[in-house]
């Protein structure tokens, strides 16, 4: 009997062991050993190895793998860990890492991480019972979902501003004519911000495999993020202000350089403008109709049978001469480039690429081949220094033919069938990687190669645009939201995409104005171009099988509406260029969701108001479908003015407004300082010598950094810039102009100060050469004429005075 009992116990234990061995979920297990090294805690668990590194007082990095941690390498992260004072204490049950801003508590049994404020408030923690685990090669971190928690960000993702209740996949995809709910799209930015209980934090999962995020989709217990391979490698960021989280994220992944000034002007695109006579007709018509513009873009039909680094000699007999003529008219040329190099004997790029061995390969060392526009193609390996250097040399072809901008397309990688094999090999900067690991970063590395190649070729700032990308893409390129549709909901979805990209560290963004596929209605086109005037990248574009989509193609009224808002864009260039300098300096985007400054205000996430955004610091833009007659606008705390007639509006309120085809609802925040210039037809034209500073009376303090440089070189990095901080001090009732920084001479010798909302009781005073003579009722921008020449609206109280643009500090009291 005793033997039978022992035998039964043995079978039971063996069965349990077999079940454990067959369990498809491998949990991380308990911590078995630790080692402290200044700011880093290294550890082993029952089933993994890991480390926790304090990157800065507000940023903590967590790494975990079933195997030994790999060599530390990232295409996204450019910041090195900052020397930080860290206190590490340990007990039998937990380890505590303490900085001057954040506390991390690491549980030992099992391994789990929780983050707290210094006063003990829980910011974020692993979900108890789930923590971190693997299913085959997929690694997942499960986080406890807080009551009422919201989630924003993740870059180019469709859906609501608040991601709660949804799941998302990062796998760069050629999403032609995508629906407004489709996921994934073209780029992958695995960074999001969690918001709850007046707290906010950011998590950046730096893993280039397919990643998946779940914010309570199909469950009510957790949020999670996972990767299909590689390490669990994430950065936890905590600040009291959401804007500081984005600043820390862009400190990690890098910030954009100043773009060329011309790239902020209006861009006229088409798939496709050809031959040369058609390109010149478009350029000439823009000038004749006095529609300001700086760029014309050529799609794939400029090439000889779609082969890269060629011009079709029948359509463009002398591209250098054509581009020279366009420059004389104030236009810059941007051309599209695709990664596919046609397999064709006698084609120089193909033969040189084969000779220099720069293409991605199968495991048997043969070059991978897939079909794209030219036919069967090979693809340069942009994850290889050899491939990038080859591209640098080839891209000079465009600089040598007078091209100033590069448009990187089809770089997901896209190919007919959209099913690239997983076993393709990439160099991955010496680490060797499969397609699974390299796919999401390929487009970013192509954009990087184009950017670096054009800089080398021209020694100037190029305009660089991409469709695909990965976290950190902002260092090299602007991005647009791909092949959208000419539909009302697509226009609104595009607004949300730009808002989300801004929350994810990408400042230079745009969408195809009017929609790429299909034909917009007259009203839709008018509304879209109005919204486009407040996009960082202002691009009009449509597909090959659609009607013409230039402003004049929709009748005289739409032409006038388009002209008015493009005029406004060009008058606002000093404001916009200064805002881009803020993006380059701090990482703050140009298009800003209201969540930036009103993070814990529920109405920001309401479907009625979630599309609203700030254009820089000053302008509140409320986009609506062109079919609506009325719309609800939410005004955050503070005081506001209508852009068009200076009507004062109270903050912390909602208002139903009547909509019109001629006018996009735009409002200016009180205490704003908005620099504007005289109207020009392109940035090649000099404005008048007077910079107009519009100052709006407000109850809050505010500061604006006005910025200039030459708009084309990198001399600003050596101090050749003009920068002046202008502060609105509401309490002391004064505006302070700080002393000018930098060596650059401003293009403006005069300052015209225009005061909005100031009454007769507000006497403008200075102790120097300012005069107290005002031009009463300077007309604000009217809906018919953004140049401001129409009669003022009754009730406006706008005054102005002109002074010399002295570099010294001065102040104005009122």
Q: What is the DSSP string of 302-346?
A: GSBTTBTT---TTT-S-HHHHHHHHHHTT-EEEEEE-S-EE--TT
Q: Are strands 266-268 and 232-238 parallel, antiparallel or unpaired?
A: unpaired
Distance CA 277, CA 731 (A): 60
Residue 573 burial (CB count, 10 A)? 20
Both tokens assigned to 732: 């002391």
Can 409 be counted among the known catalytic residues?
A: yes
Residue 130 burial (CB count, 10 A)? 18
Distance CA 592, CA 502 (A): 6
Q: What is the pLDDT of residue 466?
A: 98
What number of residues does the chain have?
Answer: 814
Sequence-distant (6+) residues with CB within 8 A of 415 are 340, 370, 371, 372, 377
Domains of the chain: 25-238 (2.60.40.1760), 271-582 (3.20.20.80), 592-667 (2.60.40.1180), 673-813 (2.60.40.1180)
Contact (Cβ atoms closer than 8 angstroms) between residue 711 and residue 293: no
Work out the burial of residue 17: count CB atoms within 10 Å of its CB; fewer than 13 is exposed, 13-18 middle, 19 or more buried: exposed
CA gyration radius, the chain: 28
Which of the residues 244, 409, 452, 712 is marked catalytic?
409
Can 92 be counted among the known catalytic residues?
A: no
Please provide the DSSP assignment of 91-106 as one string. Answer: -SSEEEEE-SS-EEEE
Q: Which residues of 319-354 are buried (b: 16+ CB within 10 A; e: fewer)?
A: beebbebbeebbbbbbbbbbbbbbbbeebebbeebe
CA distance to 124, 177, 463, per residue, from 427 (Å): 37, 33, 27
Q: What is the pLDDT of residue 21?
A: 56
Both tokens assigned to 351: 């033969």
What is the rounded (10 degree) CA torsion for 744, 533, 192, 155?
A: -100
Which stretches of the chain drop beneath a pLDDT of 70?
1-21, 766-797
Nearest C-alpha neighbor of 53 from the set 208, 256, 231: 231
Which of the residues 412, 488, 646, 709 is marked catalytic?
412
Contact (Cβ atoms closer than 8 angstroms) between residue 491 and residue 531: yes
Residue 498 gets the label, from left (phi > 0), alpha (psi -120 to 50) or beta, of alpha
Can 72 be counted among the known catalytic residues?
A: no
Both tokens assigned to 87: 């206190």
Nearest C-alpha neighbor of 508 from the set 590, 614, 619, 412: 590
Which of the residues 231, 483, 550, 582 is marked catalytic?
483
Q: What is the pLDDT of residue 763?
A: 82
């Amino acid at each position: 009997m005793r033997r039978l009992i022992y035998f039964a116990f043995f079978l039971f234990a063996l069965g349990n062991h077999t079940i454990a061995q067959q369990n498809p979920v491998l949990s991380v297990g308990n911590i078995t050993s630790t080692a402290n090294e200044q700011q880093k805690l290294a550890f082993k668990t029952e089933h993994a190895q890991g480390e926790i590194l304090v990157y800065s007082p507000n940023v903590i990095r967590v790494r975990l793998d079933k195997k030994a941690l790999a060599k530390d390498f990232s295409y996204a992260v450019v910041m090195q860990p900052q020397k930080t004072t860290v206190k590490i204490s340990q007990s039998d049950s937990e380890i505590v890492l303490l900085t001057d801003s954040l506390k991390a508590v690491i549980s030992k049994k099992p391994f789990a991480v929780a983050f707290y404020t210094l006063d003990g408030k829980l910011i974020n923690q692993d979900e108890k019972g789930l923590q971190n685990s693997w299913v085959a090669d997929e690694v997942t971190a499960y986080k406890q979902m807080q009551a009422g928690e919201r989630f924003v960000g993740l870059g180019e993702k469709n859906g609501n501003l608040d991601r709660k209740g949804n799941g998302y996949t990062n796998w760069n995809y050629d999403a032609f004519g995508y629906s407004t709910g489709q996921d994934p799209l073209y780029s992958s930015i695995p960074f999001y911000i969690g918001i709850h209980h007046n707290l906010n934090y950011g998590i950046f999962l730096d893993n280039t495999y397919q990643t998946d995020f779940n914010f309570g989709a199909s469950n009510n217990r957790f949020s999670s993020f996972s990767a299909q391979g590689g390490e669990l490698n994430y950065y936890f960021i905590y600040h009291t202000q959401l804007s500081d989280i984005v600043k820390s994220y862009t400190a990690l992944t890098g910030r954009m350089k100043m773009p060329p000034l011309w790239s902020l002007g209006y861009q006229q695109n088409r798939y496709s403008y050809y031959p040369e006579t058609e390109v010149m007709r478009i350029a000439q018509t823009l000038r004749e109709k006095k529609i300001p513009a700086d760029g014309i873009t050529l799609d794939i039909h400029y090439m000889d049978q779609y082969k890269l680094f060629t011009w079709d000699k029948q359509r463009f007999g002398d591209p250098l001469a054509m581009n020279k003529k366009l420059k004389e008219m104030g236009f810059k040329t941007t051309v599209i480039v695709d990664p596919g190099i046609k397999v064709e004997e006698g084609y120089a790029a193909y033969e040189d690429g084969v000779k220099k061995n720069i293409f991605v390969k199968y495991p048997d060392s043969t070059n991978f081949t897939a079909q794209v526009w030219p036919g069967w193609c090979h693809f340069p390996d942009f994850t290889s220094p050899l491939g990038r250097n080859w591209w640098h040399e080839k891209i000079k072809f465009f600089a040598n033919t007078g091209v100033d901008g590069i448009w990187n397309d089809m770089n997901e990688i896209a190919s007919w069938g959209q099913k690239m094999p997983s076993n393709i090999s990439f160099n991955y900067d010496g680490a060797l990687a499969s397609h699974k690991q390299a796919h999401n970063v390929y487009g970013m590395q192509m954009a990087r190669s184009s950017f670096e190649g054009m800089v080398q070729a021209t020694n100037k700032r190029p305009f660089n645009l991409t469709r695909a990308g990965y976290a950190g893409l902002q260092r090299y390129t602007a991005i647009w939201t791909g092949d959208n549709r000419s539909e009302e909901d697509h226009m609104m979805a595009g607004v949300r995409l730009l808002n989300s990209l801004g929350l994810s560290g990408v400042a230079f963004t745009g969408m195809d104005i009017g929609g790429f596929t299909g034909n917009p209605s007259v009203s839709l086109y008018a509304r879209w171009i109005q919204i486009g005037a407040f996009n960082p990248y202002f691009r009009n574009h449509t597909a090959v099988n659609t009607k013409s989509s230039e402003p004049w193609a929709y009748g005289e009224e739409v032409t006038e509406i388009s002209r008015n808002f493009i005029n406004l864009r060009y008058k606002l260039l000093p404001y916009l260029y200064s805002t881009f300098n803020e993006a380059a300096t701090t990482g703050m985007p140009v298009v800003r969701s209201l969540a930036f400054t009103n993070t814990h205000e529920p109405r920001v996430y309401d479907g009625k108001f979630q599309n609203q955004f700030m254009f820089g610091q000053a302008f509140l833009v409320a986009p609506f479908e062109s079919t609506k007659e009325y719309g609800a606008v939410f005004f955050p705390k503070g005081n506001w003015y209508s852009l068009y007639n200076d009507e004062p509006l109270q903050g912390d309120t909602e208002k139903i407004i009547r909509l019109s085809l001629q006018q996009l609802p735009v409002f200016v925040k009180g205490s704003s300082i908005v620099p504007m210039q005289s109207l020009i037809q392109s940035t090649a034209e000099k404005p008048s010598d007077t910079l107009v500073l519009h100052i709006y009376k407000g109850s809050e303090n505010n500061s604006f950094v006005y910025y200039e440089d030459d708009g084309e070189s990198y001399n600003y990095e050596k101090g050749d810039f003009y920068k002046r901080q202008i502060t609105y001090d509401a309490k002391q009732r004064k505006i302070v102009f700080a002393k000018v920084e930098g060596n650059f001479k401003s293009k403006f010798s005069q300052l015209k100060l225009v005061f909005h909302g100031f009454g007769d009781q507000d006497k403008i005073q200075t102790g120097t050469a300012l005069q107290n003579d005002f031009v009463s009722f300077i007309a604000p921008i009217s809906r018919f004429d953004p140049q401001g020449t129409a009669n003022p609206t009754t009730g406006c109280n706008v005054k102005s005075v002109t002074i010399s643009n002295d570099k010294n500090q001065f102040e104005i009291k009122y």
